[in-house]
Amino acid sequence: MQVRVLFFGMLKDVVGQNSESLSLPESATLGDLLTHYEKRIPRLKNLLPSIALSVNQEYSGPDVKLKTNDEIALLPPVSGGFSASAHAAIVREKINTQSVLDGIKRPEDGAAVIFEGVVRNNSGGRRTLYLDYEAYEAMALKQMEELAEQALVEFQIRDVAIVHRLGRLEIGETSVLIVVASAHRAAAFEACRRLIDTLKRTVPIWKKEYFEDGAVWADGEPFPAEIPRAEGTPSARPASK
């Protein structure tokens, strides 16, 4: 059977390409696919404990059986036109915070909390020139929408908007925007913090930092324990969000 394999962030550099079509036996599992790449690219084995896996945009464990035309992604820890769903969007142009805020506020709201992630001019003691963000876009948008829906259920908030920008970002530009509207400020603050903290750990978006003397993929935060890893974690599929 033929499957499509996608590589993101630093894994693109390790493997040497963004994606490829791979032929596997009919009974192959995600673990078999990993074994194939371990043999082909020995360097990959040391990275497996920190890599998450997805099949058709769902986090998955090594024991998952694959089918013809499945889309598999190998995901390193995430770094934290308007492709819009109900509450989330991925854009490539500058994020207009005021426009998003004006679009979400209503007369019944007593609070609107805004979080902006901004590109700073330094990292690890080195002067940053600019950043470049990439994503597994379909999965990232799906995960962002699920985070928004969770927040609406768990917190006493009326509405939420999450926008993340991809591509080259200059110093001072906004990479991610979260706006939460509610009747009371406490719920809005709590929901906003939960959203950005979870997004930074689970949504498949990566950044590459460019300095005067080179460029590196930013170290991401470890995936939460409930997300299966390529090695060293339970292999069952995570519960639906």
Is residue 231's pLDDT more than 80? no
Q: 111-123, pLDDT tens digit by residue? A: 999 999 999 999 9
Is residue 172's pLDDT more than 60? yes
Whole-angstrom distance, CA of residue 72 vs CA of residue 138: 13
Q: How many CB atoms lie within 10 A of CB 151?
A: 23
- The pLDDT confidence band at residue 241, using thresholds 50, 70 and 90, is very low
pLDDT at 82: 37
Element (H, E) at 147: helix 137-154
pLDDT at 232: 58
Radius of gyration of the chain (CA): 19
- Which residue segments constitute the domains of the chain, with CATH numbers given? 2-75 (3.10.20.30), 83-217 (3.90.1170.40)
- The pLDDT confidence band at residue 4, using thresholds 50, 70 and 90, is very high
Whole-angstrom distance, CA of residue 219 vs CA of residue 27: 35
Structure pTM? Answer: 0.69
CA separation, residue 49 to residues 46, 74, 199, 229, 231 (Å): 7, 12, 20, 6, 5
